[in-house]
Amino acid sequence: MSKNNFKCKSCEHEFFVYEYRTKYKDEGTVYSDKGGQLKCPECESLDLENIPRQGGYGIPFGINIGKFSSASSDKKKEILEKRRDEHFKKKGKEMHEHIQRNFKGSSSKLW
């Protein structure tokens, strides 16, 4: 299976981009990565086609270019759990404040 996930509509060159964003604009779908808009490495055309891959779009399976690759699995778990806790703590607080602000003493017509 080809690992390429983009194809140039102008010259049919196929290439691979590890991480990219998709934007839907009036003039069409635009793909970009950290360096800006993606273009064909062969002819620099911006008219690219995303090649659907098995298992979905974007970051491919089986390739682990890792932020975590140096961490042990316990460490990974720890990092992920910490991140999740912080996320929920923050969300929970926001939600609580939101409710306090908006519904405190409000009349029953809201419900």
Residues that bind Zn ion (CB under 5 A): 8, 10-11, 13, 40, 42-43, 45
CA pair distance 36, 50, nearest whole angstrom: 16
C-alpha span between 77 and 110 (Å, rounded): 42
Least gap, CB of 16 to Zn ion (angstroms): 14
The CB-of-45 to Zn ion minimum distance in angstroms stands at 5
* Cβ nearer to Zn ion, comparing 45 with 103: 45
Nearest-angstrom CA–CA distance, 1 and 62: 12
CA-to-CA dists, residue 57 to 17, 20, 50, 51, angstroms? 11, 10, 9, 8
Closest separation in Å from C-beta 30 to Zn ion: 16
CB closer to Zn ion out of 13 and 76? 13
Q: Phi and psi for 92 in degrees, rounded to 5?
A: -60, -40
Nearer to Zn ion (CB atom), residue 49 or residue 60: 49
